[in-house]
Amino acid sequence: MKYRIIIIFLLLNIFFNMKGQEISPELKLAYLQILTDSVSYDQFYALHAVIDNNIVDAKDVIEQKFWQFTRSDQTLALEALLKFQSNLTLEYANGLIDTLDVNPDDYILSPDSGPDVLYEKVKICDILFQLNDFSKFAFVFELIERDSIKEITDVVIDPLIKIMQNVPAYSEVAKNILIDLVYNSNDLFTRSNALIALEKTIGIESLPILLQSFQSDSSDVNRFYILNEYLSKYSGYIDLSSILKERIYNEPAGSLRLRMAKILLYGPGGISNYNFV
C-alpha cells in the first residue's frame, strides 16, 4: 500500500508539473510496473506519461497487456501503440471497435461502468484513419447525429478532416458539417478548432467562412483570433480597412475595438483611416 501511494504521488507530479521533461530511469520503471501489474485508475496516468515522455520501452508491455486494460484506458493504449509504431495497432484497433458493443463495461473496476461506446469508436476511427483504414468512418456521422451539431465535442474535427481528404464520396458532407460546427456549435473552442482545421485544409477557400465568423461569432476571443491570425494573412484578397470600419461600430468588446483601431491607424490606408479613427 505504501509503495502504491508513493507511485501515485510520483505519477501526479510528473503528469502535472514535468510533462515532456527528461525523467529518471526509476520513474520509467515505475510506469512500466503499473502498466504490467496494476488494473486501476493509475494506468490512465501511466499511459499518458509514457506517451508524453516518449517511453518506447512501454510498447512491448502495452502490446502484451492491452486486453487486460480497462475499457476506459484501451483507446489511450491504442494511441500509445500508434505513437510507438506498433505492428499490432491496426489489429487491436479493429478488434476493439468491433467488440465494444458486446463488452463495453469496465468489469474489473465496476460492473456498470465503462466509456461512452460511440464516443470511443470515433476516437478509434481517428487512429484507424491514421493507418489508412477508413472502413469505419460511418461512426463519425453517427456520433454527430446522436449529439447534434450544437453539442458535439471537437473529437469529430480531425476525423472529419481526414474523411474530407480520403473519402471522396463523403468529402463534401464532411466539409459542410465542419462549416456547420464553425457557425453553430455551442462551444467556443469547438467553433475555433473547426475553423482552424478548415483553414489549414482548404486555405483561401475558407475566406468567406472566416469573414462570416469574424462578424457573427459570439466569442470575442474567437473574433480576436480571426482578426490577428487570418484577416491580415488574407489582406491581399479583401478590403481590410472597409471590413474593420464597418465592424468597429458594432463590436461590443473594447479590447477588440482598440485592436481594430490600431490596425487602421498603423496599417495601409493613410490619412483617411487616421481621420476615421
Helical packing angle, 42-52 and 71-83, nearest 10°: 10
Q: What is the DSSP string of the chain?
A: -HHHHHHHHHHHHHHHH-TTS---HHHHHHHHHHHHH--STHHHHHHHHHHHTT-TTHHHHHHHHGGGS-HHHHHHHHHHHHHTT-TTHHHHHHHHHHHTTTS-S-TTT-TT----HHHHHHHHHHHHHHTT--TTTHHHHHHHHHH-TTT--GGGHHHHHHHHHH-GGGHHHHHHHHHHHHHH-S-HHHHHHHHHHHHHHHGGGGHHHHHHHHHH-S-HHHHHHHIIIIITTTGGGS-HHHHHHHHHTT---HHHHHHHHHHHHHSTTHHHHHHH-
Residue whose grid cell is 464597418:
246
Predicted pLDDT of residue 109:
58
Grid coordinates in use for 22? 527528461
pLDDT per residue rounded down to tens, the chain (277 residues):
434 444 444 454 544 445 556 788 899 999 999 999 877 678 999 999 999 999 999 999 999 999 999 888 999 999 999 999 999 999 999 999 999 888 776 655 555 666 789 999 999 999 999 999 999 999 999 999 999 999 999 999 999 999 999 999 999 999 999 999 999 999 999 999 999 999 999 999 999 999 999 999 999 999 999 999 999 899 999 999 999 999 988 999 999 999 999 988 887 666 777 777 6
Its pTM stands at: 0.86
